[in-house]
Amino acid sequence: MLEGSILQKLEANHRHSKRPIRFGVYFKNTLVSLCHALEDHILNDKSQPLVITAFQQGKWYLQEAQRYAHITKVARHVVIMASPDTGWAEHPTSQLPNVNLVALNPQDPVSQEWHLIILSPGYTAMVLCQELSESDYGAAGLPKHDLERKFYGLWTFEPELVKETAFLAISHISSYSPELAQRLLEYQNEIQPLAAPEDLAGVVSRVVDYLQTGQKNTTTQVLDRNLVSNEIQAFLRMAQIIDAADIVNPMASAEVASLAETIGQLLDLPAWQIKRLRLAALLHRIDPLQRAESVLTNTNLRRYQDDAPSTPLTCPLVAGAQVLRTMPRLRAVAQIIAHQTEWWDGTGEPACLAGDEIPLESRILALLADFQSRVNQKKAAGNMNNQEIFTQALQECKQKQSTRFDPKLIEALTLLVMGLQQGLEISLLTPKTSAGMWLLDSRLEENQTSQEMIYRQ
């Protein structure tokens, strides 16, 4: 990282914290789709966001000037940092009353960065990246195609991180225009972001849709994988924000994922199936997504579904599951999440499936989510030790066997609880949101038949 850059300052702030930032590598084609999605969502934000951008050599992004003319109509203020003499100053967008241009010194490390920072009470998002130097590319050398240029950094919806980065950007602007920086600081201080953006489901849906649209124009496998990885990241970031906003149970997804992996090992499930269960567990709380409508057209939605392999169960049109289904690699995961509310006795939703008709991972997820919630509630009460907590939570789950839960899975949970009481430690699985592909492999879309046969043996 370039010394004195905004990215480097943010990394330094978190280097020794409990939550160090995980950075990733992004191709330009990914960042274009990602930024367009985050920018276009501003048009739906009625709380007049503060927008701060850095456009490197502004000549490459002058084509975005008209897009920003539309953004200024709904934004409180827009600041564009770019190298001078690139045409921005001559464009009509720069003359709008709520737009300021900051002409970066060519030696300024920020001139090598690509930033988009959006801050409002109801919507926070940012992209914070720095282009790789020629030496960073190694023996392969600089890419031949512009869309294959690589950037190092992160993107997120996390309100506190976005607010912190906005402050760093404003501080940097102060060296060019103290008066502007003071005004921006006043704007920022007036903004108190919600713990979770109001329309998080909508912006995640838009991000995934735009990234998928970018795939249509991609012929290189490495670029395609980078786009797919970021589609996964969008869902993982949503799950992370939902957990963080839950002050009562902020680690639910990670803890359920850890329990699920252990149960999968107890049941001797194959590695690919455990990986799929793990991803479903990390995403199992995306309840707001159940109310999201994909911004894909019906034609595009059908195309993505037609490209995906068939699965034996077709859940009712639950919007959240359908958004996941737009990614062929996540159709099986969408099915697992959609059916986690089924009951063993057939009285659940959304399809009133009963017994072994319910996907195995859905049954596991339902039981472990319930168990984890009970354990968390009892720990918060603070009137029992761990042995008592695990015992009582297990007994409460047992009361629902053969009605809510699969009795065979209750047996597996009993073995797990015995291990926990005897000192078994389960490592917490936190989603590596800087590299979504770690959760995918070619078998994630396998049908449920083989797993049911394994389980019945």
pLDDT in tens, 244-267: 777 888 888 889 999 999 999 999
Residue 298: its pLDDT value, please? 37
Distance CA 4, CA 21 (A): 17
Distance CA 39, CA 117 (A): 10
Asked whether residue 323 carries a pLDDT value surpassing 70, the answer given is no
Asked whether residue 412 carries a pLDDT value surpassing 60, the answer given is yes
Residue 86: its pLDDT value, please? 67
Asked whether residue 451 carries a pLDDT value surpassing 50, the answer given is no
Tokens representing residue 12 in the block: 């330094």
Share of the chain above pLDDT 70, in %: 82
Q: What residues does CATH 3.30.870.10 cover in the chain? A: 6-198
Strand residue runs (E) in 14-111: 24-27, 50-55, 77-82, 99-103
Does the domain made of 233-456 have the CATH classification 1.10.3210.10? yes
Q: What residues does CATH 1.10.3210.10 cover in the chain? A: 233-456
Residue 239: its pLDDT value, please? 81
Distance CA 360, CA 449 (A): 10
> 26-35: per-residue pLDDT in tens?
888 888 889 9
* Mean confidence (pLDDT) of the chain: 80
Distance CA 305, CA 308 (A): 5
Residue 16: its pLDDT value, please? 83
> 75-121: per-residue pLDDT in tens?
999 999 988 776 777 788 888 999 999 988 988 999 888 999 999 99
Distance CA 371, CA 390 (A): 9
Fold of 6-198: Endonuclease; Chain A (3.30.870)
For residues 312-318, give the mean pLDDT.
Answer: 47
Q: Name the nearest CA neighbour of 62 among 92, 95, 39, 35.
A: 92
Write the CA distances from 311 to 274, 304, 325, 369, 445, integer angstroms. 18, 14, 11, 24, 8
Q: Name the nearest CA neighbour of 334 among 346, 323, 348.
A: 323
Residue 376: its pLDDT value, please? 93
Share of the chain above pLDDT 90, in %: 40
Q: Name the nearest CA neighbour of 150 among 31, 235, 55, 2.
A: 31
Residue 373: its pLDDT value, please? 93
C-alpha 176: how far from its chain's center?
A: 34
Residue 264: its pLDDT value, please? 95
Judged by phi (left if over 0) then psi (alpha if -120 to 50, else beta), residue 276 lies in alpha
For residues 283-289, give the mean pLDDT.
Answer: 66
Hey, is 119 helix, strand or coil? strand
Q: What is the dihedral angle through the alpha carbons of 304, 307, 309, 313, rounded to the nearest 10 degrees? A: 40
Higher per-residue pLDDT: 155 or 432? 155
C-alpha 96: how far from its chain's center?
A: 34
